[in-house]
Structure 1
Amino acid sequence: MIFGKMEYENDYSDFHDELVNYLKTRFEPVKSGLQGDSWIEISENNETVTVDTFLSMKHQIKSSKVDSTLVKMVIDYLCLKYKVVVFSSPEIEPHE
């Protein structure tokens, strides 16, 4: 499910490293990759949040759990530095 999306001027590939480094200042472990799309995976307390560009040209914040505590933490942290549009209800991804 998609909980929100980020808004920024740069191309996502130019923004990828900055975003990964910022998330690493708060979360551990953070896995990431940039090959065609940007993806970042944060895991904590048996929850996983993904911040990726698989369905969009801008990063989207995703989790498979509707009541994810981690997704709220990630969104709150991203909002400290970046513009994030948080959806009132999570959107279903096409594969869900």
Structure 2
Amino acid sequence: MIFAELEYQEDYWDVHEELKNYLLQHFEGVESGLQSDSWFWITIDGVRVSLDTFSSMKHQIKSDKPGPHVQQVLDLLERRFRITIYAPSEPEGHESF
């Protein structure tokens, strides 16, 4: 699920190092990489939150499920970056009429 997207004017590779340093100041379980995309994996209580540019030119905040782990990352990022928060999506297989 995609929960949010960072907003910035620069190209994502120009934001990668600043974002990496910021995340490392606040979380212990951070892995990252920068090649043709920028990505970060933050593990909180055994659950992963991803920030990556795999499907956008801006970093998106993703996780397999919602929860306090996602909110913790969003709260931290909102202190330093502008963020577009997406409305929660319906679980797959659930149809609204």
Q: TM-score, normalised by structure 1?
A: 0.89
Question: What's the offset of the Cα at 1:16?
Answer: 0.3
| Regions of 4+ moved over 4 Å | none
For residues 28 and 89 of structure 2, what CA distance do their matches in structure 1 show? 25
CA displacement at 1:69 relative to structure 2: 1.2
Letter in 2 for 1:87: Y
Percent pairwise identity: 47
- Cα distance in 2 between the residues matched to 1:34 and 1:17: 9
CA RMSD of aligned residues (A): 1.5
Cα deviation for residue 2 of structure 1 reads 0.1
Please say if residues 2 and 91 of structure 1, whose CA atoms lie closer than 8 Å, have aligned partners that are also in contact: no
Structure 2's unaligned 5+ residue stretches are: 92-97
Q: Which residue of 1 aligns with 2:95?
A: none
Cα distance in 1 between the residues matched to 2:90 and 2:79: 23
Q: Flag structure 1 segments of 5+ consecutive residues without an equivalent.
A: none
Q: How does 1:72-87 map onto structure 2 within 5 Å? A: 72-87=71-86
Separation in structure 2 between the aligned mates of residue 91 and residue 43 of structure 1, nearest angstrom: 24
Partner of 2:94: none
Structure holding more strand per residue: 1
What is aligned with 1:43? Answer: 43
